[in-house]
Amino acid sequence: MILESNKLMIIGAKESFLIRSLIKKMKESNLDAFFTIATVDAINKAYEEAFLIAIYLDPGEVVDPKVLTYLKDRMGEHPKHLFVIGEKQDIDDLGSVMSVDYITRTFERPLNVEEFIEVSVTYLDDSMALDTKKTILIVDDDPTYMGMVRDWLKDSYNVYMAKSGTQALKTLGNTACDLILLDYEMPVVTGPQVLQMLREEPDTRSIPVIFLTGKNDKESIMKVLALKPEGYLLKTILKDDLLKELTKIFNKI
């Protein structure tokens, strides 16, 4: 995750007295925080402002599934830490809809504010350290394969994901990347077409592109190489071998 802000966004159904009090105490601890109402439009407008997101659940509160789906999609493209504050049952209910894989920490009510602030500061410090890592964008229409590669790389690199060429270009409009792992065969807009679009844009033409391909026959490989990417990797590659190849590529670059 690239640190683009030091702010914490607190999402809730309404800006209650408890939320205002929490924000005030966080600011007193030199940790900037702001409130955003739990709607897709409001979260979308504020998403880039925050390094960390906290969902604040009042007792019995249920977050609109559309909001949770949106958050999952945005966090897949542009990862951020996510905290959830609430009653245990409400936290469990939210986790069953959103998937606990996206939730970094949970805090049960009544909230221990001092602990919450301490943990938030720790994640801010960790995010500042992560900011020195190289950033890789994975572009692939297979979410299972893309998620597996992200899990392989996330400890060594900042990783973003895009499930189409169009989404990749949108991500690159907001995020600086050091390298792109690009699926060669995708529907609608193919990998070669995406590479061509990248090369036509001044802001993206110099980003190294490595093709991912499932075919290892000579004809297919020659087609890949004819496009002059920085390299190509077979999708059968293992985790350790992928990490070694990326190290070599970055050293060469």
- What confidence score (pLDDT) does residue 222 get? 77
**pTM for the complete prediction?**
0.59
- What confidence score (pLDDT) does residue 252 get? 79
Taking only the tens place, the pLDDT of each residue in 229-253 is 888 899 999 999 999 999 988 887 6
User: Each residue of 13-24: b (16+ CB within 10 Å) or e?
Assistant: beeeebbeebbe
Q: 38-41 — which CB contacts under 8 Å span 24+ positions?
A: 38/11, 38/12, 38/13, 38/63, 38/64, 38/67, 39/64, 39/67, 40/66, 40/67, 40/70
Domains, the chain, with CATH or none:
7-130 (3.40.50.2300), 135-252 (3.40.50.2300)
Taking only the tens place, the pLDDT of each residue in 63-109 is 999 999 999 888 877 778 899 999 999 999 999 888 877 899 999 99
- What confidence score (pLDDT) does residue 231 get? 84
Name residues of the chain where pLDDT drops below 70.
Answer: 1-5, 126-132, 220-221, 224, 253
